[in-house]
Structure 1
Amino acid sequence: MSPRIGLIPGDPSGIGPELVARLLAEDCIAEAEVLLIGDRHVFELGQAQAGLSHEMTTVDAAADWTRADGLALHEMQTLTPDEVVLAESTEASGRSTLRVLDQALDFVQQGVIDAIVFAPFNKASMHMAGIGHSDELHYMAEKLGVSGYISELNTLDGMWTSRVTSHIALKDVADAIDAHRIEEATHLIDRTLRRAGYARPRIAVAALNPHAGDGGNFGREEIEVIEPAVRKLAGGQMAVTGPLPSDTVFLKVTRGEIDAVVTMYHDQGQIALKLLGFDRGVTVQGGLPVPVTTPAHGTAFDIAGRGEADVGATRAAFEIACRMVSNWEQESAA
């Protein structure tokens, strides 16, 4: 059975609606049953920006929406057309984003869809609307009742990263790193890659300090925390190595020697992946009970409404979600 993907337009003020319109014209759409979730006028705005037109049929998502003529649309009314202000963070756009996301999360819990793909959110707008969390991942985790370890994972052209710490100040990183978090981050990316189709993911754990601490001359985190955690993971038959210097570990990824890097902090992995391919990177919301993916870039207010948005990362996010649904079902059957 084809994966049932809920597709939501992200922040209406950014390039999200245009990206959705462009994605719907891509061949990969045929790999899945797609349910559009959101305001009709937002999707139509994106089509106008992209110079495209798609037939959308309003459906009752509680029924068999996959039989709809054209594209199935669960139509909502979260904001009026005149509340959409391009290229600006607004409370109205943030409120719309959260309401549409809430509906998509309800649908996965009800079994209406198998996965969510969302176009870029704008964190400032969501905070104006009262998200109550540091980011959308923690918001989704609460809505889905997840109490275990969660982390954003990023992928680009077969390269993957996870994080031991994420949205915290750099000065707090060293104190936040411990063996348990390293093990959780490594297990999470191993499990996620298996669900993405990797039989035995090859994982490297990055060091924190320059030259992996240089034998303790530049810090002892590698000796006292990271290396013991890696030994324990390797002892559990996981294909993991490290700690490896962060200024060279991504060379091993680009050479195809490893599949994934467990990074110690946000920018350690983000800089590498965005430099290698800003318009192709994908974020996977790791630790949730269903696949949720999005392009790794933001709302790009500088080009919102111009018809210039590159669909590459959104297409990759959609394709990864489809693969993950398939492997998730196989894992559940086993």
Structure 2
Amino acid sequence: MVNKHVIAVTMGDAAGIGPEIIVKSLMAPKLNGAPIVVVGCLRTFQRQQRLGIVPTAHFRSIAKVSDACFESGVIHVIDEPAASPDTLIAGEVQDQAGDLAFRCIKRATELAMSHDVQAIATAPLNKEALHLAGHMYPGHTELLATLTGSKDYAMVLYTDRLKVIHVTTHIALRKFLDTLNQQRIETVVNIADEFLKRVGITRPRIAVAGVNPHAGENGLFGTEEIEIVAPAISVMQKKGVDVSGPCPPDTVFLQAYEGKYDMVVAMYHDQGHIPLKLLGFYDGINITAGLPFLRTSCDHGTAFDIAWTGKAKPESMIASIQLAMKLA
């Protein structure tokens, strides 16, 4: 009988640190023998083990999740082979690595949509490699939304003490300013409220960051707060959501970190990423909220500069898998 709470872990970009941090994570005491299947290139994992890059493990190839028999020291792999795994070059952008990363996500999404797994934890992919392979997505969030047909979704960055959700992510600042609208802010506040309740916070307290310095200072430094952000907050307050703002962006993240709020709604990518990565780079988790299933990820990139050297730290990957298991 299949465990009802199996997690799928995707390889990410095989030329980066993804394979290494996956093996290190699954051989760590917290996860060794846990109900986890890996979607990735079996020969790449075996090649890294021969090179002494990853800890010793027994890689067992399985055709489907129900074939897994979880036990200590064994990593179950649903093989998604690279085009030419023996020619894969560590630390370099390659189309075969980008295509492999795409296929791993697609395969894992199919497993989640068919309820063979209950959540997905993803190792990092490289956007340039993804595009080189012809898959024109800005990142995991948008790719997963497309594969699942999801319309209302948002990126969450998660640590125990600071949680951030984003109104926009992988777009230029100019485009963000031109496309910012009240409906999107309302949608993200609602996603934040539902997500926090899902992770066990019964009465979430949400803060919305402003767009401009000092949240516009009553229109002195910009009017987006008056015209767009404040009306969205008002609508959500009337719906019973405990949401505050617009809050000055230079102080609201510290206030959340110190416990005043459970989550901050950040307006754009770097506004939310910089404080989160400063305070939780090694244990931060990236979550796509609003999908039909839970998706978590380590909150860092492919780290090509240390790829295949054995130096990659698995803490964020471990934390992302543990959270996926907990919520599943």
Does residue 100 of the first structure (1) align with residue 104 of the second (2)? yes
Among 116, 121, 126, the residue aligned to 1:112: 116
Could you report, residue by residue, the CA deviation over 1:268-295 in whole angstroms, capped at 9, with x for unpaired residues?
0111111112222211012211111111
Aligned-pair Cα RMSD in Å: 1.9
Listed as ranges, the matches of 1:116-195 within 5 Å are 116-146=120-150, 148-195=151-198
Q: Which amino acid counterpart does residue 29 of structure 2 have in structure 1?
A: D
1:223 Cα deviation after fit: 1.4
TM-score normalised by length of structure 2: 0.93
Does residue 257 of the first structure (1) align with residue 260 of the second (2)? yes
Q: Secondary structure at the match of 2:31?
A: helix
Is residue 117–residue 293 contact of structure 1 (8 Å, CA) maintained in 2?
Answer: yes
Q: 1:250 to 1:54 in 2, by over 3 A?
A: same
Does residue 244 of the first structure (1) align with residue 247 of the second (2)? yes
1:67 Cα deviation after fit: 5.6
Aligned-partner Cα distance in 1 for 2:23–2:65:
24
1:56 Cα deviation after fit: 2.2
Among 15, 18, 27, the residue aligned to 1:16: 18
Could you report, residue by residue, the CA deviation over 1:174-216 in whole angstroms, capped at 9, with x for unpaired residues?
2222110111111112222222222222110001111111111
Could you report, residue by residue, the CA deviation over 1:236-284 in whole angstroms, capped at 9, with x for unpaired residues?
1212111100000011112111111001111101111111122222110
Could you report, residue by residue, the CA deviation over 1:297-319 in whole angstroms, capped at 9, with x for unpaired residues?
10001111111111111111111
Listed as ranges, the matches of 1:203-242 within 5 Å are 203-242=206-245
Number of residue pairs the alignment of both structures matches = 324
Q: 1:152 to 1:83 in 2, by over 3 A?
A: farther
Q: Secondary structure at the match of 2:55?
A: coil
**Unaligned runs of at least 5 residues, structure 2:** none
Q: Secondary structure at the match of 2:192?
A: helix
Does residue 43 of the first structure (1) align with residue 45 of the second (2)? yes
Q: Which amino acid counterpart does residue 303 of structure 1 have in structure 2?
A: I
- The residue number in structure 2 matching 1:331 is none
Q: 1:144 to 1:68 in 2, by over 3 A?
A: farther
Does residue 307 of the first structure (1) align with residue 310 of the second (2)? yes
Is residue 7–residue 35 contact of structure 2 (8 Å, CA) maintained in 1?
Answer: yes
Moved more, 153-162 or 57-66: 57-66
Aligned-partner Cα distance in 2 for 1:14–1:57:
22
Moved more, 27-36 or 109-118: 27-36
Does residue 293 of the first structure (1) align with residue 263 of the second (2)? no
Q: 1:46 to 1:249 in 2, by over 3 A?
A: farther
Aligned-partner Cα distance in 2 for 1:259–1:295:
20
Is residue 2–residue 33 contact of structure 1 (8 Å, CA) maintained in 2?
Answer: no
Aligned-partner Cα distance in 1 for 2:263–2:71:
40
Aligned-partner Cα distance in 1 for 2:293–2:144:
11
Is residue 124–residue 301 contact of structure 2 (8 Å, CA) maintained in 1?
Answer: yes
1:122 Cα deviation after fit: 0.6
1:23 Cα deviation after fit: 0.2
Q: Secondary structure at the match of 2:164?
A: strand
Is residue 84–residue 96 contact of structure 2 (8 Å, CA) maintained in 1?
Answer: no
Q: 1:29 to 1:216 in 2, by over 3 A?
A: same
